[in-house]
């Protein structure tokens, strides 16, 4: 408890490295200094050996004493040693290596940062476009669920709607109602109903269903080849209308949201009929009765049905 505390060196790894490096440099310089001294002594020894002791007195190279070349070669090695300690070490030593490494690491880091920023930007754009697509999809779904596909029809008590590709009765109030309800909307119809009109009805977008791929119609009339395509063509309309005839009503009963029916209180011979309205599927939400009068040969009721 009261014993001597063990002293732990307060030195970190970098400092230790610096000290080691300094020690190494001191050793290198010391060796160079020793080399220099030995070189001086050696040179003097070589001169004495030749001139005083007469060693190799007769041996000459290019007419010069041999010790001159020996000293020059040694000087070359000494200079090389000197160069190594002061020049090469500075450029290729540990500090230089570390500096180069730091530079490379910094460069790589910079590249990684740039890639990361690019990647994040890309991620952000992808996320934005996905969110946009999702929002768009939702909007389109909402549009679809918000749009009210409505069947509009005039049918007799026996569900008769047409004979010889013509309407069977003339009820001016029914025509007025048809006009006011469908005004400005898309009207979807079978090719036969379309051909029963003398010309396209004003202020409505006609969507005509036919199996004939080369069917020609006046400008502005949309030609499609299935009921689904017809509905697709009316996507922007909050209330597209199915206006007949018998074949198209039959196919549309399963997908329509609403039926605007003019029930003519009479029975007629016909070749085209409206399907039975199933009370378990459809709820009557409006019923307005009209008496026979000078302009109307039959009693009739305006009925509205909505899908339950």
Ligand X SMILES: NC(=O)c1ccc[n+]([C@@H]2O[C@H](COP(=O)([O-])OP(=O)(O)OC[C@H]3O[C@@H](n4cnc5c(N)ncnc54)[C@H](OP(=O)(O)O)[C@@H]3O)[C@@H](O)[C@H]2O)c1
In this chain, which of 4, 5, 13, 211 binds ligand X, going by CB under 6 A? 211
Candidates 77-85, 114-122, 138-146, 164-172; binding stretch for ligand X (CB under 6 A): 164-172
The 3-class secondary structure across 157-226, one letter per residue, is CCCEEEECCECCCCCHHHHHHHHHHHCCCEEEEEHHHHHHCCCCCCCCEEEEECCCCCCCCCCCCEEECC
What pairs with residue 166 in β-bridges?
A: 163
In this chain, which of 186, 191, 258, 263 binds ligand X, going by CB under 6 A? 191
In this chain, which of 227, 231, 253, 303 binds ligand X, going by CB under 6 A? 227
Q: Compute CA distances 270 → 261, 276, 297, whole Å.
A: 18, 15, 18
Q: Is 240 in the site for ligand X (CB under 6 A)?
A: no
Q: Is 248 in the site for ligand X (CB under 6 A)?
A: yes
Question: Minimum distance between the CB of residue 146 and ligand X, rounded to whole angstroms?
Answer: 25
Question: Minimum distance between the CB of residue 118 and ligand X, rounded to whole angstroms?
Answer: 51
Q: Which is nearer to ligand X, 69 or 298 (CB)?
A: 298
Q: Which is nearer to ligand X, 4 or 166 (CB)?
A: 166
Q: Is 226 in the site for ligand X (CB under 6 A)?
A: yes
| Site string (262-301) toward ligand X, x via CB under 6 A | ----------x-----------------------------
Q: Is 246 in the site for ligand X (CB under 6 A)?
A: yes
Q: Is 182 in the site for ligand X (CB under 6 A)?
A: no
Q: Is 158 in the site for ligand X (CB under 6 A)?
A: no
Q: Where are the beta strands (DSSP E) in the chain?
A: 60-61, 64-65, 150-156, 160-162, 186-190, 205-209, 222-224, 241-242, 258-264, 272-273, 282-290, 300-307
What pairs with residue 304 in β-bridges?
A: 260, 286
Q: Is 147 in the site for ligand X (CB under 6 A)?
A: no
Q: Which is nearer to ligand X, 6 or 166 (CB)?
A: 166
User: SS3 for 262?
Assistant: strand
Q: Is 213 in the site for ligand X (CB under 6 A)?
A: no
What is the number of other CB atoms lying within 10 angstroms of the CB of residue 282?
19
Q: Which is nearer to ligand X, 84 or 210 (CB)?
A: 210
Q: Compute CA distances 281 → 98, 211, 239, 276, 289, whole Å.
A: 83, 30, 20, 11, 23
Q: Are 242 and 249 in contact (CB under 8 A)?
A: yes
Q: Which is nearer to ligand X, 191 or 206 (CB)?
A: 191
Q: Are 162 and 270 in contact (CB under 8 A)?
A: yes
Q: Which is nearer to ligand X, 240 or 244 (CB)?
A: 244
What pairs with residue 273 in β-bridges?
A: 160
Question: Minimum distance between the CB of residue 295 and ligand X, rounded to whole angstroms?
Answer: 18
Question: Minimum distance between the CB of residue 112 and ligand X, rounded to whole angstroms?
Answer: 60
Contact set with ligand X (CB under 6 A): 153-154, 161-162, 165-167, 189-193, 196, 209-212, 225-227, 243-248, 251, 272
């Amino acid at each position: 408890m009261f014993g001597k505390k063990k002293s732990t060196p307060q030195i970190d790894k970098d400092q230790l490295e610096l000290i080691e490096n300094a020690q190494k440099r001191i050793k290198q310089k010391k060796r160079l200094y020793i080399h220099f001294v030995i070189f001086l002594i050696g040179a003097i020894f070589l001169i004495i050996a030749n001139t005083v002791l007469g060693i190799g007195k007769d041996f000459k190279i290019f007419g010069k004493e041999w010790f001159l070349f020996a000293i020059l070669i040694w000087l070359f090695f000494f200079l090389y040693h000197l160069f190594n300690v002061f020049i090469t070490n500075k450029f290729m030593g540990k500090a230089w290596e570390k500096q180069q490494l730091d530079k490379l690491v910094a460069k790589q880091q910079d590249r990684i940062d740039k890639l990361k920023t690019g990647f994040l930007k890309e991620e952000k754009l992808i996320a934005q476009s996905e969110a946009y697509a999702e929002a768009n999809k939702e909007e389109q779904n909402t549009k679809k669920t918000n749009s009210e596909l409505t069947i509009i029809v005039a049918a007799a008590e026996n569900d008769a709607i047409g004979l010889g590709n013509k309407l069977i009765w003339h009820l001016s109030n029914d025509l007025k109602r048809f006009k006011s309800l469908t005004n400005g909307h898309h009207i979807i119809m079978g090719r036969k109903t379309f051909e029963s009109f003398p010309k396209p009805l004003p202020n409505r977008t006609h969507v005509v269903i036919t199996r004939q791929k080369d069917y020609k119609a006046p400008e502005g009339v949309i030609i499609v080849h299935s009921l689904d395509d017809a509905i697709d063509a009316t996507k922007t309309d909050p209330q597209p209308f199915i206006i007949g005839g018998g074949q198209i009503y039959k196919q549309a009963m399963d997908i329509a949201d609403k039926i605007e029916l003019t029930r003519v209180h009479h029975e007629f011979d016909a070749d085209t009929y409206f399907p039975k309205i199933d009370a378990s599927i459809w709820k009557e939400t409006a019923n307005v009765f009209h008496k026979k009068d000078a302009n109307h040969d039959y009693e009739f009721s305006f009925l509205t049905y909505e899908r339950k």
